[in-house]
Amino acid sequence: MKLILQTTAAATLLLAGAMAAMADDSSIHKIDPSAFGIDQTEIASIRSQMQAAVDGNHIAGALLLVGNNDGVGLLETAGTQGPDDATPVDEQTIFRIYSMTKPIVSVAAMSMVEDGLLSIDDPVGKYIPAFNSLEIIDQETGDTRPAQNVMTVAHLLTHKSGLVQSIFAMGTTLGGLYEANVPSDGSATAREVADSLGNLPLLFEPGTAWHYGHSTDVLGAVLEVAAGQTLDVILNERIFEPLGMDETTFYVSADKASRLAEPVHGAMGDNTIVRPMLSGGGGLNSTTEDYVRFARMLLNGGEYNGARILEEETLALMQEERITDDVSREYFFYGDRGGWSLGFHLQPVDASDPEGPSNFGWRGIGGTLFLVDPANEFFMIYMEQKRGGPRGAPFDNNVAQRVVYGAID
């Protein structure tokens, strides 16, 4: 009996030690919100607005986080993981982050540039031969002509490639070509999708305009060819494993399916079903705890907990404005406000000072958002899952950004 008791005590100590180690390994360490100039009245207001979105049946639940290199000063949640799920949203809830995949893939691309595996000036056709004979479409007539400019890796990073997406070209000749020729059900690989896109005309000459679309999907295929690895392996080796982002994956294992957030309205794909497509433009799932690691790395000049993902000079290059005066903003989401860099949005910290410092980051179509603000030394992450439903939600990623800046101001 004495031996059994000793063994049990030892096991208890081991378990306690393991739990403590897990706690120490978390990316979320609470600090006082006053470190960000946020007071309890402002926190209560934020919490109330988030709950109003849940009570109004806009979303099942949401999470808002503000942090810096010292820790997390604001972590508010409301609601549950889904309309039929009583589990509260927390930092371990898994969200489909959709286009918040793009910054991760862009960082991986630039880490490969550092290693000499590719250059941002490389022609895309060097890696995907289908892009060696590009054509430009006349949207009014449907006629095409040979492209004069060469599409480069930089054009993919900056959405100046001329590639679009069927959802942004509905009712046009080009939109119809996308619908008919580009697989969208996940049954094709990233390389196969890129081949399909390379055989379709572009909306404009590469480098002459900004337009959202399949650019980062093609970038993912370029990385696969340049590295000789699939995109999941590239991201694991270059970003996820060094940062400890072990919950960020293209597909969610069955044992974690109960942690997936779901929308109240509409439906999102079942990301527990593994498909050939590894979408660099929008395929990842992640937790808030994981994405904090990525955001802190960016805020800290490319390094997190001793793991350097990018050199500071490379990250600085990634924050330079790429929508120059010779680039059309006709299709840019924000018109004349802000810009785009090598993988991130650029938005003025102070709307009244468009030439002042900018934050950088991006959002996902499912309602997520992250941004990094080096000037004010913080990052924020907002997570929800929304697909359709009534407009006018009392809280969403746009409101989240406004209230955070309002509180910090």
**Alpha helices by DSSP H, 150-302:** 153-158, 173-181, 190-198, 215-227, 231-235, 241-243, 288-299
CB 101 within 8 A of CB 343: no
E strand or H helix at 17, and its extent?
helix 2-24
Q: Is residue 44 part of a domain?
A: yes
Using DSSP, state whether 40 is helix, strand or coil: helix
Using pLDDT thresholds of 50, 70 and 90, give the confidence band for residue 6: very low
Shared domain for 45 and 121, answered yes or no, is: no
List, for residues 173-217, the tens digit of each pLDDT value.
Answer: 999 999 999 999 999 999 999 999 999 999 999 999 999 999 999
Q: Measured between alpha carbons, how far is 109 from 152 in angstroms, rounded to an integer?
A: 13
SS3 of 182-217:
CCCCCCCCHHHHHHHHHCCCECCCCCCECCCCCHHH
Shared domain for 220 and 263, answered yes or no, is: no
Using DSSP, state whether 308 is helix, strand or coil: strand
User: Is 239's pLDDT higher than 80?
Assistant: yes
Nearest to 322 by CA among 358, 294, 298, 293: 358
User: How many structural domains comprise the chain?
Assistant: 2
CA angle 371, 393, 71 (to 5 degrees): 30
Shared domain for 344 and 280, answered yes or no, is: yes
Q: Measured between alpha carbons, how far is 66 from 73 in angstroms, rounded to an integer?
A: 6
Shared domain for 220 and 251, answered yes or no, is: no
Q: Is residue 38 part of a domain?
A: yes
Number of alpha helices (DSSP H) and beta strands (DSSP E) in the chain: 12, 14
Please give the average per-residue pLDDT across 56-84, as a whole number.
97
Q: Is residue 13 part of a domain?
A: no
Using DSSP, state whether 32 is helix, strand or coil: coil
User: Is 17's pLDDT higher than 70?
Assistant: no
Q: Is residue 160 part of a domain?
A: yes
Shared domain for 260 and 401, answered yes or no, is: yes
Q: Is residue 385 part of a domain?
A: yes
Q: Is residue 380 part of a domain?
A: yes
For the chain, the average pLDDT equals 93
Shared domain for 38 and 81, answered yes or no, is: yes
Nearest to 95 by CA among 300, 363, 403, 401: 363
Q: Is residue 21 part of a domain?
A: no
User: Is 5's pLDDT higher than 70?
Assistant: no
Shared domain for 95 and 153, answered yes or no, is: no
List, for residues 313-338, the tens digit of each pLDDT value.
Answer: 999 999 999 999 999 999 999 999 99
Shared domain for 147 and 203, answered yes or no, is: yes
Q: Is residue 52 part of a domain?
A: yes
Shared domain for 382 and 316, answered yes or no, is: yes
pLDDT at 25: 86
Shared domain for 168 and 196, answered yes or no, is: yes
Q: Residue 259 belongs to a domain with what CATH number?
A: 3.40.710.10
Shared domain for 102 and 120, answered yes or no, is: no
Structure tokens at 270: 């079942």
Q: Measured between alpha carbons, how far is 147 from 205 in angstroms, rounded to an integer?
A: 6
Q: Measured between alpha carbons, how far is 93 from 80 in angstroms, rounded to an integer?
A: 9
pLDDT at 386: 96
Residue 183's domain comprises 116-226
Encoded amino acid at 350, one letter: D
User: Is 21's pLDDT higher than 70?
Assistant: no
User: Is 364's pLDDT higher than 60?
Assistant: yes
Domain boundary among 162, 197, 226: 226
Shared domain for 330 and 395, answered yes or no, is: yes
User: Is 8's pLDDT higher than 80?
Assistant: no
